[in-house]
């Protein structure tokens, strides 16, 4: 089932996610629904926070052919490199906005899969960036918070105007009036 993605500046994007305690069918279904939502968007990563579920669940697939889906449950960065890199990041919760964010170029992460089995992964490049970006969501942080206050306010204003336009169109459509 496709889920609704929260849009910045929705305050629910700033909630801190709680660790997953039970690895069951509900969790497997959440991961499945998140994957459908992410691929449909289309995106390469999605945190549960973005679909208004405040649990430590992240899914990522940076492959071109969509064959590398990985679920990171209760992820934890064990190590990050001192060398940094700047990537132009985008976000499904901040549609149409891309900007450079500096992050460690390599990370080592420990997490659990949907069955509750632990695993570790060493990541660099796009995968390292994506892991850090999605884990930020679990802490209630959106990538635009790395940008200057001026850029952040412009983005917020632009997205709020777009949201009002969408709501206006939906209201007109629901009323049956022509527009």
Give the residue-averaged pLDDT of 159-164. 86
Assign 56 to helix, strand or coil. Answer: coil
Question: What's the CATH number where 15 sits?
Answer: 3.90.45.10
Give the residue-averaged pLDDT of 7-18. 96
What's the domain range around 115? Answer: 11-147
Reported as a single tens digit per residue, the pLDDT across 81-98 is 999 999 999 999 999 999
Are 133 and 146 contacting, i.e. CB atoms less than 8 angstroms apart? no
121/163 Cα distance (integer angstroms) = 38
> According to the annotation, is 91 in a ligand binding site?
yes
134 assigned to active site:
yes
Task: Say which DSSP state 18 is in.
Answer: B
**Domain annotation covers residue 52:** yes
pTM attached to this predicted model: 0.92
**Domain annotation covers residue 154:** no
Are 144 and 157 contacting, i.e. CB atoms less than 8 angstroms apart? no
**Domain annotation covers residue 3:** no
**Domain annotation covers residue 57:** yes
Q: Is the pLDDT of residue 136 over 70?
A: yes
Contacts of 60 (CB under 8 A, 6+ apart): 44, 45, 69, 70, 72, 127, 130, 131, 134
**Domain annotation covers residue 111:** yes
Check residue 126 and give its pLDDT: 95
33/172 Cα distance (integer angstroms) = 30
Catalytic: which of 25, 134, 163, 170?
134
> According to the annotation, is 133 in a ligand binding site?
yes
Contacts of 176 (CB under 8 A, 6+ apart): none
**Domain annotation covers residue 178:** no
Contacts of 145 (CB under 8 A, 6+ apart): 152
- Residue 121, H or E segment: strand 118-124
53/145 Cα distance (integer angstroms) = 21
Can you give the length of the chain in residues? 179
Total domain count, the chain: 1
């Amino acid at each position: 089932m496709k889920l609704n993605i929260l849009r910045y500046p929705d305050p629910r994007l700033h909630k801190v996610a709680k660790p997953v305690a039970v690895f069951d069918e509900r969790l497997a279904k959440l991961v499945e629904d998140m994957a459908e939502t992410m691929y449909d968007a289309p995106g390469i990563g999605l945190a549960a926070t973005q679909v208004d579920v405040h649990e430590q669940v992240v899914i990522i697939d940076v492959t071109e052919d969509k064959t590398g889906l990985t679920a990171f449950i209760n992820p934890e960065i064990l190590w990050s490199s001192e060398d940094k890199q700047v990537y132009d990041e985008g976000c499904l919760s901040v549609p149409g906005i891309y900007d450079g964010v500096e992050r460690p170029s390599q990370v080592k992460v420990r997490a659990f899969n949907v069955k509750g089995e632990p695993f570790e992964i060493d990541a660099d490049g796009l995968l390292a960036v994506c892991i850090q970006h999605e884990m930020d969501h679990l802490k209630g942080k959106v990538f635009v918070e790395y940008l200057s206050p001026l850029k952040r306010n412009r983005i917020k204003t632009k997205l709020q105007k777009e949201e009002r336009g969408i709501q206006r169109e939906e209201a007109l459509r629901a009323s049956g009036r022509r527009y």
